[in-house]
Structure 1
Amino acid sequence: MMNKKIHETVLLNESINSLKIKKNGIYFDGTFGCGGHSKEILKKLGKHGKLYAIDRDPQSIEIGKKISDPRFYIIHGNFSNIDILLKKYNLKNKIDGMILDLGISSLQIMSKKRGFSFYLDGPLDMRMNPNDKISAFKWINSSNTKDIYYVLKNFGEERFAKKIAHKISIIKKKKLISTTKELSQIIESIVPRKNKHPATKSFQAIRIFINKELDELNIFLKKSLNFLNHKGKISIISFHSLEDRIVKRFINKYNKIPNIPVGLPISENQIKKMYNIKFKNIHRIFPSLKEIKKNIKSRSAILRTATFKSQNIKK
């Protein structure tokens, strides 16, 4: 049985504080996981506040169902489908704060059966929702060298992607690669061991690809603009540069004003409206040294926060 203390929510206080929770506000947790953020939000809400949480993992949904609180709603699905999953609640332009923790859940990484960990030998799976069609096992054993290389290179930024892909292709012709240990050993035979485990980047790449994590994030960010209330907060914790880059570019897209030639007969407010400025009070927060020492997994975390500014509000 998994020790309950194993899971430690990264940047918990910082992310909750960034939401500036209103007693009777409406909040959204798109990655419920083990419930770390949701439980803290509920502590700060008044009796008329509401919290809507989503997770794609059925195990997380079972944990969420154990929270007996009329202010809390747990919904099974992908956060990219926020418009569909929250449709019946009529929450467009009403949410005061949205949070995503893009890290892998301890429910997933600590289970041999889920196939996420290169430390634990188990079936090569990596699906955040076990009901999804394509597992890592199916993909690895049905893909050509070029496709494997592309995934390892682009989603894991793995320097040795070409060599790893080539060796995987040679081995699977003789025998299907069916366990995390088998895949990890292939990678370890090629990648030099330094600070991180040699299989770290490759497992990350395959997991991101199998679960379409970057696509999910891009879709969600675009849809989030339709749900945030004026002055609503968005807080996103990422754990690698690919995710962080997407979040950074999204916020910057709706924050920066291009250089306008001096002397044009146009006011600053007209410029802001013209270029669809939607975010202000933008912050980037890193874990403290104390947190990193306590939880080494937090060392790569970045929290980006911003405040939504609706163009529909009269000044």
Structure 2
Amino acid sequence: MTAYFEEFISKYKKILETELATAIDKLEAPLTLKDAMAYSLKAGGKRIRPLLLFAAIDAFGEKPETGLQTAIALEMVHTYSLIHDDLPSMDDDDLRRGKPTNHKVFGEAMAILAGDGLLTYSFQLIANDPYLDSDKKIRLLHLLSKSAGPEGMVGGQVADIQAENRNLKIADLEYIHNHKTGRLLTFSVMAGAIIGGATELELTLLEKFSGHLGLAFQISDDILDVEGDEGIIGKPIGSDNGKLKCTYPSLLSLEGAKTHLSSHIEEAKHCLAQTNLKTDLLENLTELVAGRDR
């Protein structure tokens, strides 16, 4: 990774963390609700989705800061999904990023409401963004609602639940992850492209790029569940197998999953090369996904 890329990550993660806290602080809402929302937002994480958004804007020669409100909204939607995913009625997880999950700290009812609050607040943030025109706001709101809703992440979550303790084909598994994980990663890149003023051809290529990246991200996650460091990833190793979930290593073997990961990474890079944009940051983030340890 280049010094420029490391500086980019450090700078925009710091900006994002500050603005996430500010967004919660200024809410006129019950203190316990704000505390529960802030708890999961402050749990850290890779912030890969906002960084992809900032990098996509940079590819068009625009200032990443123009996408700050959308990046905050995106991270709130992602965090809401994690809170709900950890609930006893879903994956029933006790730890997230090495800390007790939201419902373990605030109770199940407050965790549900914290997730609801983060989801709905995200749309308010984009709608009130003073730096985007109405056309871009409408496009972003439409794309985010579709990416996070029944045609995207929620639909993927349903398919994931229904697939437990079943033998799946690779196409079934890719459907789940294209929706559950991939749609929000695709939004990250496409939102940056919309804010940056992309042409239709550029949007098409970046959508293909993000599709490959989304699957690579999930395959990497499945591999980490087999051979990751529990102290680094912040959850028990082998938790997917314990929940009878179908994964890439269980279908393809661990080595087969790694080959599949490399293939999607190469395809993602190929799509970027065709855009003729300044994609060095996006390329570095792609490498980060390929070699991540958490």
Structure with more of its chain in helix, by fraction: 2
Higher RCO by CA contacts (8 Å cutoff, separation 6 or greater)? 2
Same fold by TM (over 0.5)? no
In our comparison, the structure showing a higher alpha carbon Rg is 1
TM-score (structure 2 length as normaliser): 0.30
